[in-house]
Amino acid sequence: MNAQVKSVLPPLIFGVAGLALWQLLTVAAGVPSFLLPSPTAIAGEFTDNFGRILDAATATGTNALIGLILGSVCGIVAAMFAVRFHVVDGLLTPLAAAAAAVPIVALAPLLNSMYSTTTDTPRRMVVTIVVFFPMFVSTARGLRQVPQVHADLMTSYAAGGWQVTRTVRLPAALPHLFTGLRIAAPGAVIAAIIAEYFGGLQNGLGSRITSAAANTAYPRAWAYVVGAMLVGLLFLSVVLVIEHLTRRPRPPSPFTAKGLFNTAWRTK
């Protein structure tokens, strides 16, 4: 059994066992649907309303994706300026912390009142603000953690500040950058859904969840929740795939057979 199967098998078994226990408790104990619908009822609603769930997931996912891209770009660029200039760092860090401290439930209604209710701009702005802070903090931390020997080497080459940032700091900051993305990607979906609870277009997962719950269609509301979970997992999976594709292969250790062969070959 290879390592990938060993890593996937335990959560898969746990998930199946959890669903079986959920089904058993809701059916055997007679739990009413407004408290907790059974997995089979949720699955039936998900299948019957798959087209509507897909349309709502597309609308929410589009807002989350645009906000994620804008927030990530702004966070990375702001981190580059903050690391490069101490004055900018002193200005942006408190502002980023203040933006992260503003709750979505207070921000979304305010933006909805500032812009038209027939546009997705407020929701995308909410996602952008939510994504900005983790991307700014993670990228800035990675940009600062450059090995001193690399910085000294670029100084000996008379490289400018932006050259050092582009050629040394950004590549070294990639692990921290993707750490921020792993946090920001599901957070973008959550922010987009919560922003839909406060008016605007009724085309997303958040508005469909509240509408189904208001009509006492609780299995259908949970089916939309499952759709939201799938969108969040999709965002996270894409980030993990991009991280894997951009990861540089490590050179073989000189103490392994391959490393000894390469060392001997270079010395010939």
- Range name among 59-63, 90-94, 192-196 with the lowest pLDDT average: 90-94
Closest residue by Cα to residue 206 from 68, 114, 105? 105
Task: Please count the structural domains in the chain.
Answer: 1
Residue 259, domain member (yes or no): no
Are the beta carbons of 180 and 143 closer than 8 angstroms? no
Residue 75 is assigned to a structural domain of this protein: yes
Query: Is 4 inside any structural domain?
Result: no
Average pLDDT for 159-173: 66
Size (the chain), residues: 268
CA distance 227 to 209: 10
pLDDT category of residue 110 using cuts at 50, 70 and 90: confident
Which two tokens mark 115? Answer: 């812009």
Confidence check: pLDDT of 259 > 50? no
255, part of any domain: no
Residue 16 forms part of a structural domain:
no
Six token digits for residue 229? 């979970």
Say what the pLDDT of residue 154 is. Answer: 59
Tell me the average pLDDT of the chain.
Answer: 80
Residue 62 has pLDDT above 90, yes or no: yes
Residue with tokens 């951009």: 246
Helices (H), 29-120: 39-48, 50-84, 86-101, 104-114
- Of 252, 170, 49, give the one whose Cα is nearest residue 260: 252
Answer whether residue 166 is part of any domain: yes
Going by the DSSP 8-state scheme, the letter that residue 113 receives in this structure is H
Asked whether residue 71 is domain-assigned, the answer is: yes
Indicate whether 159 pLDDT > 70: no
Non-local CB neighbours of 26 within 8 Å, separated by 6+ positions:
36, 37, 38, 39
**pLDDT tens profile 191-206:** 999 888 887 778 889 8
pLDDT digits (tens, 9 = 90+) for 235-258: 999 999 998 888 765 544 444 444
**Assigned domain for 12 exists:** no
Query: Helices 50-84 and 218-246: crossing angle, nearest 10°?
Result: 40
CA distance 142 to 158: 23
**Position 114 confidence tier, pLDDT thresholds 50, 70, 90:** confident
5, pLDDT greater than 70: no
Question: For the stretch 83-110, what's the b/e string if a residue is b when 16 or more beta carbons lie within 10 angstroms of its beta carbon?
Answer: beeeeebeebbeebeeeeeeebeebbee
Domain of residue 64 covers 39-247
Query: pLDDT band at 84, cuts 50/70/90?
Result: confident
CATH number, domain with residue 239 = 1.10.3720.10
Which band of pLDDT confidence, cut at 50, 70 and 90, is reported for residue 189? very high
- Of 64-78, 124-138, 191-205, 215-229, the one with minimum mean pLDDT is 191-205
Contact 161, 84 (CB under 8 A): yes
Residue 265 has pLDDT above 80, yes or no: no
Cα 3 vs. chain centroid, distance in angstroms?
25
